[in-house]
Structure 1
Amino acid sequence: MKKVHFKPAYYTHLLLTAKIIVITGLLTLKISASIAQTGPFPLKPIDEKRVREIEKMLSDKPSGFGKPYHERKVWDNLLKSGNYDRFLRGMKDYSFPAFSKDDYFSLSNGSASSSNAGLTMMRKRAEGLAKVTWAECLQNEGKYTRMVEDGLRDIINQKSWVSPRSDHDFKNYNGLAYSVELTSSLYAHTIAQTLYMMGNKISPKLRKEAIDALYTRIFNPIHHKFKTQNNDKENHFLTADNNWNHVCLAGLVGAALTVIEDKHERAVFTYIGEYYSRNGLAGFNDDGYCVEGVTYYNYGFGHYILLREGIWQATGGNIDLFNDPKVQKIARYAPNIEVINGVYPAISDCREGATPDEAMMIYLNRSLGLGIARYDTLTNESGTSDNRKSVMMAFPNSSSKSMPKKNMQKEGANIRSLFEQTGVLVCRPLPGASANIGVALKGGNNNESHNHNDIGSYTIVQGNQIMAGDPGVIPYASNIFDPKYRYTYKTVGSYGHPVPLVAGSQQRPGKLAEAKTVRTDFTKEKDNITLDIASAYNVPGLKKLERTMDYDRSDVGSITFTDSFAYANPQEFETVISTRSKWKQISDNTLLLTRANEKMLVTFSSAGNKLLLKSEEISEGGTPYTRIGISVSKPVSEGQIVITYRPQN
């Protein structure tokens, strides 16, 4: 039997070209990768003038988030707060997670269809080091010191710090090269925080070994990158314009500021964070929209906050990465993308039910004066699964020192959010109205990071339930970021989304597939928008494809979608309802959707054309949902299909 080797693939910011070659009985999938998304700030030599300016702002000694264990007043106050009692009870029988070689190589030996096992194992070990560090610093009884040291030593000697799916040719595992990526940057910052928080509880010998490991695996590869000005794919995060940029920079710079004694060298890494983090900001649209969805907003922009706070504290507030007008718009992405009642659309690789990280939003609200009442209350409650953000939020930081805005924004006062550049519209009912439905409609293009080929897709919320719309992400399979296979998944391609199937064709990927706004009409009572989505379909003879949405705030409210199409010759046409609601057909042209305690009627029609209904359950490893196809009964040259959603009285 032939043995299959899969070399792990990068995330969506890489273009992958796969070639299967049979050599001496071995079937090997060779992947060549290049950076698909590059920010406007390319790799360049270190600006020594700026570094010297930064050096003057830094203190003589490195410092991390929070305080070392021996500053007992602050740690004892945290212990006495009671917020960590449950955590400490759970730590009594805690065992440090072991490294699993089988999990690390599960993709390459064909024992797993998903990279989750290896990635989860790697990150659980970083979490373990953070948890035992928290436990010892809180109690200060020496009970966990041995476990901290053993865990730290074990991680230092671990063959790889990177995610298995990022370890091309297993160069990291075999010590041939070292990469700063999502997981290794997490390890670096976690190790640095452990050394800082534990202070002299860590033996001098182990401390030196840990710092040497940080240089070998993290700091030196970046020094080498700038020395050689090597612009290949290694450590490409510097010029990436997606979540990798901020995640990797936060870990790299955070670790450097926490453990590097040499002030000039710390200034070099601070400069790297200050300059190259602008690439990550460039990945957000100018209207503040995050194309990667709420989940990756928490992850990517959440790490930008870590980077900002670390540099702000290290420079005494002299460098503030929030001093960019675009940051204010990005900070408002979360409240603006909310549909109603704390429900958010699962756009791109975002799971249904995802919400903005509360601690992150409190930080943004206070730091930037957003004036959102529900995110104004400071809390010392903090998680313990990491010793970076959790420590930063548990101790005084720049946001906790900020005064709240006096004029708070009223909940539900904003009946509409339009991300004008992106073409995403969110419509909400009037405050105090009987209507309790909202909708998010997505325009954009099909070249966005973590994109799902979903121009024209929508999410409909009634009460606090998503009744129909974008199904969200499925578990990451081993090949899900390979363009050759990505859109073969129904949930990632347009097939699983509430968008048309045109002459049997799904939407195509790429920037040429771009929604264009034809017209808008926004009033207090109604919102109307028409998108031209024809460019998303590579269908010869397609003359017209427009999607119009009418949102009516009167009475209990209603949402109507009209798909208008025209072909040069008669063709098939189908539109789709995607839903996790229970559903049944109650008349020829009416469906009843039920989810939790919400019920919604869906009517559909097409003047002059008979419509056919067919349904299909789709899972692909995620939470199942139903795709209900509504199609014209025979090929036609032109027509319309109208679907209206209305709460059942």
Structure 2
Amino acid sequence: MPPATPATPLGERACGPAADPATWRRLRDRRDGLPQVEALLRLADVLAGEPVAALPASSYLEFERTGDRAGFERRYFQRRRRLAALALAALLEPERDTRALAETVVAICDEPQWALPAHVDRRGEIPPEHVVDLFAAETASALAEITGLLGPRLPDAVVRRARTLVRARVIDPYESHRWWWEDSPTNWASVCAGSVALAVLQVCEPDHAAALAPRLRATLRRSLDGYGDDGVCVEGFGYWTYGFGYHLVASEALDAALGPDPVAAPGHAAEAARWPSRAFLGGRVVVPFADTHVTDAISEGLLALAARRYGGVARPAPEVVARDVVDECGRWALALHGLARLDGAEHVWDAAPRHPLWFPRAQWLVVPQGERSPVGLAARAGHNGEPHNHDDLGSFALAVDGELLVGDAGRGVYDREYFGPRRYDSPATGSHGHPVPLLDEVRQAEGEQARAEVLEVALDGGRERLVLDLTAAYPHPALVRLVRTIERDGAVVIVTDAVETSAPVRVRQRFPVLAEPGASAAGTVEVAGARGRVTLRHDPGAAVETGAFPTGRGGFPQRVWWVDVVATTAPPDPLVLTTVLTAAARPR
């Protein structure tokens, strides 16, 4: 293994405006108008006064013992967040003391491995310290770029050790193995390949970097297959920032250092770049399908880079712009390249669409709150074999005045079971935690064969109508046909399930709600949130049951309740079960 080298000419070019001191001077001079800069410097001051988070072996072993990820990962990501914040503050303030930064680099180098316990190879074929997972790759890119940009302000021994480990733990194992994620149309492909590329450009000689680039670029291209022609990130909105964010900054770095990809196909990338402006239902509420939080924000700097690179990108509304440059996981590359692009964020932006959209490949209907609709609504078809899949065909989400109140409640708590054989036991992923029918407690099946057939999509200006045949999703022996219709007219959403069975079947229309439901009366149930309320009016002959899902491991990270409208089929006649949801914003 060759010795670690100082920053190469490729590394400086790969960092783009982040390598130019003038960028940081302009950001510093504009700090009063950039809340991201002020927030970052305050965070760095706080973290510099705290010790580096301890990372004992006992916390690493907790995943093996109990399946809990949170204890170890909280400490692990505290270190990365500290690393990123202190390094960015040092770039913004050339006179800032970097001893706390150096201490953090040393602590991360002292970790026996960088891959998470949930991602190591339990077959023993690859030593844990050589596993290239998302976070080992991210750590490598962070240490490589930080030592490249700030090397003269850090002890030489610290710089050399960090760069040596970047090679030994990530670049060399990448070269010597074929990794499963290289052919995965998911965030793994873009984050791992993108991070390796950023590290390679910093620590490898130009010929070596050029030799690795075609393989890295092929994986970055493969990651785009998860978006398709309509640009939707079916893994969840947060995975756009994560997955496409790394694709974006790594592609930009490779192009700047080595020239454009000769086989790049920008179509999918351009549509994916435009997804964030299409994903908000109102305020910070995003389309909550798959593994995503129900509210989110977006990096204006990353979108500025996407706008310059692809065009047709809408500037985010002020209320959805992320104020925290460094996220909870301390993702250095997104923070660095997003912040550096804020300096040139005055691009020509497209207007964000404020009208209903149907995405034919993902089969998602998205209705943003605005001049065409007083509420935000999303509904979906698709299949149950998608990346970060939930068994939720026919699911929907209803937001009022920037508050999600009824419908899909987003991702669950990540633990061993969440990504294992028992994934769909969690209400966050299984049908029982989604606004879809349950048939005698039989849930939807998982896998691509469980799919919705789209019978009708109508977007006629002020109203939308989506009709789905969900029969193939339910492995119930008595089910003949199940057709769900979701309609919006003004602030009213109507959900109708027409169920044909060969024997009596107890049908539940389940409605997860994010505020505790009030007492039912006269065929209605009230759900009142902080900003709005929804009245659920159900068929008089149906029963109503309410309850709550578990919070924490095995459930949702936030409190979620449910309202069930229950009736039984009487063959040969079909059961038509209709619930009308009427939304209203609270007076301000």
TM over 0.5: yes
Q: Which residue of 2 aligns with 1:623?
A: 558
Report if the CA contact (8 A) 1:171-1:177 is conserved: no
Matched, 1:167 2:120: yes
Q: Measure, in 2, the Cα distance between the counterparts of 1:380 and 1:417.
A: 24
Deviation at 1:204, TM superposition (A): 4.2
Q: Measure, in 2, the Cα distance between the counterparts of 1:167 and 1:380.
A: 32
What code does the residue aligned with 1:106 have? E
Matched, 1:383 2:325: yes
Q: Measure, in 1, the Cα distance between the counterparts of 2:356 and 2:406.
A: 20
Q: Measure, in 1, the Cα distance between the counterparts of 2:26 and 2:276.
A: 33
What code does the residue aligned with 1:211 have? R
Q: Which residue of 1 aligns with 2:445?
A: 508
Q: 1:527/1:155 Cα in 2 relative to 1: closer, same or farther (>3 Å)?
A: closer
Q: Measure, in 1, the Cα distance between the counterparts of 2:242 and 2:91.
A: 26
Q: 1:403/1:586 Cα in 2 relative to 1: closer, same or farther (>3 Å)?
A: closer
Aligned with residue 419 of structure 1, among 354, 359, 369: 359
Aligned with residue 572 of structure 1, among 487, 506, 519: 506
Q: Which residue of 2 aligns with 1:364?
A: 306
Matched, 1:439 2:377: yes
Q: Which aligned pairs between 1:216-235 and structure 2 lie closer than 5 A?
A: 216-225=168-177, 235=179
Report if the CA contact (8 A) 2:452-2:468 is conserved: yes
Report if the CA contact (8 A) 1:558-1:644 is conserved: yes
Matched, 1:240 2:184: yes
SS at match of 1:107: helix
Q: Measure, in 1, the Cα distance between the counterparts of 2:323 and 2:296.
A: 21
Q: Measure, in 2, the Cα distance between the counterparts of 1:78 and 1:355.
A: 21
Q: 1:368/1:568 Cα in 2 relative to 1: closer, same or farther (>3 Å)?
A: same
Q: Measure, in 1, the Cα distance between the counterparts of 2:345 and 2:548.
A: 51
Aligned with residue 518 of structure 2, among 584, 590, 595: 584
Structure 1, gaps ≥5 residues long: 1-57
Q: Which residue of 2 aligns with 1:21?
A: none
Residues 18-58 of structure 1: CA deviation (Å, up to 9, x unaligned): xxxxxxxxxxxxxxxxxxxxxxxxxxxxxxxxxxxxxxxx9
Residues 429-485 of structure 1: CA deviation (Å, up to 9, x unaligned): 672x6x5113111111000111110000000112212120001112112221112x1
Q: Which aligned pairs between 1:79-228 and structure 2 lie closer than 5 A?
A: 79-82=28-31, 83-84=37-38, 85-110=41-66, 113-141=67-95, 143-145=97-99, 147-169=100-122, 175=127, 178-225=130-177
Report if the CA contact (8 A) 1:67-1:197 is conserved: no
Residues 590-636 of structure 1: CA deviation (Å, up to 9, x unaligned): 12221113122221127xxx211111111231212111111115755
Deviation at 1:263, TM superposition (A): 1.3
Report if the CA contact (8 A) 1:97-1:128 is conserved: no
Q: 1:90/1:591 Cα in 2 relative to 1: closer, same or farther (>3 Å)?
A: same
Q: Which residue of 1 aligns with 2:34?
A: none
Q: Scaled by the length of structure 1, what TM-score is found?
A: 0.79
Matched, 1:307 2:247: no
Residues 412-442 of structure 1: CA deviation (Å, up to 9, x unaligned): x5421101122211235672x6x51131111
Q: Identity across aligned pairs (percent)?
A: 19
What code does the residue aligned with 1:626 have? W
Structure 1 window deviating more from structure 2 (463-472 vs 76-85): it is 76-85
Q: Pick the structure with more helix per residue.
A: 2
Structure whose CA Rg is larger: 1
Aligned with residue 535 of structure 1, among 448, 472, 475: 472
Structure 1 window deviating more from structure 2 (593-602 vs 246-255): it is 593-602
Q: Measure, in 2, the Cα distance between the counterparts of 1:63 and 1:429.
A: 42
Report if the CA contact (8 A) 2:114-2:139 is conserved: yes
Q: 1:526/1:248 Cα in 2 relative to 1: closer, same or farther (>3 Å)?
A: same
Q: 1:520/1:95 Cα in 2 relative to 1: closer, same or farther (>3 Å)?
A: same
Structure 2, gaps ≥5 residues long: 1-7, 32-36
Q: Scaled by the length of structure 2, what TM-score is found?
A: 0.87
Q: Which residue of 2 aligns with 1:283?
A: 226
Residues 104-147 of structure 1: CA deviation (Å, up to 9, x unaligned): 1112234xx521222232232233333333344444447324x3
- Equivalences, count: 562
Matched, 1:328 2:270: yes
SS at match of 2:64: coil
Q: Measure, in 2, the Cα distance between the counterparts of 1:275 and 1:518.
A: 37
Q: 1:347/1:80 Cα in 2 relative to 1: closer, same or farther (>3 Å)?
A: same
Q: 1:166/1:643 Cα in 2 relative to 1: closer, same or farther (>3 Å)?
A: same
What code does the residue aligned with 2:101 have? V
Aligned with residue 479 of structure 1, among 409, 417, 420: 417
Aligned with residue 255 of structure 1, among 179, 182, 199: 199
Report if the CA contact (8 A) 2:549-2:559 is conserved: yes
Report if the CA contact (8 A) 1:63-1:259 is conserved: no
After superposition, the CA RMSD in angstroms is 3.1
Deviation at 1:506, TM superposition (A): 0.6
Q: Which residue of 2 aligns with 1:632?
A: 567
Q: Measure, in 2, the Cα distance between the counterparts of 1:599 and 1:587.
A: 16
Matched, 1:344 2:286: yes
Q: 1:503/1:170 Cα in 2 relative to 1: closer, same or farther (>3 Å)?
A: closer
Report if the CA contact (8 A) 1:337-1:417 is conserved: no
Q: Which aligned pairs between 1:9-20 and structure 2 lie closer than 5 A?
A: none
Residues 571-597 of structure 1: CA deviation (Å, up to 9, x unaligned): 221211110123224533112221113
What code does the residue aligned with 1:421 have? R
Aligned with residue 272 of structure 1, among 186, 200, 215: 215
Q: Measure, in 1, the Cα distance between the counterparts of 2:404 and 2:152.
A: 52
SS at match of 1:339: strand
